[in-house]
A and B are shown apart, each in its own frame.
Chain A
């Protein structure tokens, strides 16, 4: 593809004690792409997310974001540069109304600089900007969903709240750690167009997923991890045809009936 990659991971290694969580993982991410990351449980997907976003420090290798190495940078500084993530286990502030959850990211230096989602932060109080962001990603304002306590919201909304926290920073990259997991079929169906909308807004996405059907509809490229090593990368159809992938990840041919 044309242009410089916005994010480029080079030979990243990470071990926890004797466990090799990541071995020589490298990939490039072009601006505007959606990269899917798949792999069996324990294959190092979440560790990769943690390494890129600074929550875990890589033992060796480089994470180049716009040409600058991020390894060793504190997580909040990485988020400050526009590389944000969601958490696989949602971490909302349960006792607060949903829109109040966005006050924290809107209070951050980056949101003050950029004005948050579409520059709204320069125009109104943080509360109104927060409700606008939530409405944008599917919290129906008419039925007062943004005003409900986070603890009373179903998983689907909490996953969106995670995304909204990233959006409040006006990010350039969002790394989504399993946004589809734990959702009902209809919740997932409504999530897909939302991700497409984010892509059209010019946000580059990395999606770590187990849900292949939805992921393959969205992703331009897919990368497969197994035991911490990259075993395949390419457009979804090619990756699915890869023999190594079939053996390591799917185990049988049955999976193709789902895709």
Chain B
């Protein structure tokens, strides 16, 4: 019986429209342009309309903002892991640093929200990069473990020395003027980050980043300082996280040690697994699925984590390539069985 299976195999062929629209002739026809733009517009328009669709349920509007924050982290994680070769579990560090910097700028120096968020993004990125700088020669799981240590350390230090408000955190931050502004600021930032990074990784500098990941010896032999590029990668990823953290602090009008919670390190990784690593859009899709699931499971009480784990396992077992890779394949290729 096994023979019957062996005599057939699945053949995959690129669709004609995919082949044609790969080149510079993509603008040749509306059909080809639509083929290229369709999925992108679907994501952009879908996210922009979502707040309006969720108008009657403000609770889910809040969930949408949380999805965007996790998406920022997940895009950063995917970029670092699959294009720079640093598996970073420092998501919680980025969120925490961003939140605390925004809170300090807002409450101590009296800067308005529109100044604190960009400042926290850049300063936070710098702080995280400086903190992680000594770990940059590490690779793979070693970098992951050290980067996981930082958020734990930061939370304990704040607790032990009672700095920055200690366990109470910093209260009394300005909130966003209304819930629409908080949603649209985050959605637009997240979409910009996604498309900017997708552009970046295909530019020449993106090839250098990929070189650092696959082949650091050859990059060194090419006269390029790999530590600088790793640091630049960490800066980009941590800035995205700090942007999320700053927004989070202003949404809750509070910054505290729970913003160093490991959820911010773990969920972006889970989202990247579900969505498909190396695609950048995949992690966003992963967040769009995982965060709502996690909210829906609140009814299960303590069983929530168990059900969540089962869903994750199902994804890993049945769609290990990730939804985005799977979807892109179905979108771009015909599949059919052929006799050998």
The answer on A and B forming one complex is yes
Q: Is A221 located at the chain interface by the 8 A CB criterion?
A: no
B29 at the interface (CB under 8 A from A): no
Say yes or no for A8: interface residue by CB 8 A criterion.
no
Out of A74, A85, A100, which one reaches B225, CB within 8 Å?
A74
By the criterion CB–CB under 8 Å, are B220 and A79 in contact?
Answer: yes
In the complex, B169 has a CB within 8 A of chain A = no
User: Complex formed: what's the CA distance from A95 to B82 in Å?
Assistant: 14
Q: Which of B210, B218, B225, B226 contacts A91 (CB 8 A)?
A: B218
Alpha-carbon separation in the docked complex, A165 to B222 (Å): 7
A43: CB under 8 A from chain B?
Answer: no
Q: Complex Cα distance A117/B221, Å?
A: 16
The reply to whether B219 and A104 contact each other, CB–CB distance below 8 Å, is yes
The stretch among B201-209, B254-262, B285-293, B327-335 that forms the contact with chain A is B201-209
- Give the top 5 A-B pairs by smallest Cβ distance, nearest first: A79-B223, A105-B222, A108-B223, A80-B223, A91-B218
A109 to B224, CA, bound (A): 7
| Closest-CB distance, B329 to chain A (whole angstroms) | 17
Interface residues of A in 100-126 (CB under 8 A from B): 100, 103-111, 126
**Is A216 interfacial (CB-CB < 8 Å)?**
no
Check A55 against B211 for contact (C-beta < 8 Å): no
Q: Which of B220, B221, B224 contacts A107 (CB 8 A)?
A: B224
Contact of A100 among B207, B217, B226 (CB under 8 A): B207
What's the least CB distance linking B288 to chain A, in Å?
A: 28
B226 partner residues in chain A, CB cutoff 8 A: 76
Binding site for B on A (CB under 8 A): 53, 55, 74-77, 79-80, 84-85, 87, 91-96, 100, 103-111, 126, 165-166, 168-169
Task: Give, as a whole number of angstroms, the nearest-CB distance from A150 to chain B.
Answer: 11
A165 and B218 contact, Cβ closer than 8 Å, known pairs A103-B207, A107-B208: yes
For residue B294, CB closer than 8 A to chain A, the reply is no
Among A80, A104, A165, A166, the most chain B Cβ lie within 10 Å of the Cβ of A104
Contact (Cβ within 8 A) B207 A79? no
Task: Give 29 pairs: A residue, B residue, CB < 8 Å, sorted on A.
Answer: A75-B221, A76-B219, A76-B221, A76-B225, A77-B223, A79-B221, A79-B223, A84-B221, A84-B223, A87-B217, A87-B221, A91-B215, A91-B217, A93-B207, A94-B214, A96-B210, A104-B207, A104-B208, A104-B218, A104-B219, A104-B222, A107-B204, A107-B205, A108-B223, A109-B224, A165-B221, A166-B221, A169-B222, A169-B223
| Docked pose: A166 CA to B210 CA in angstroms | 19
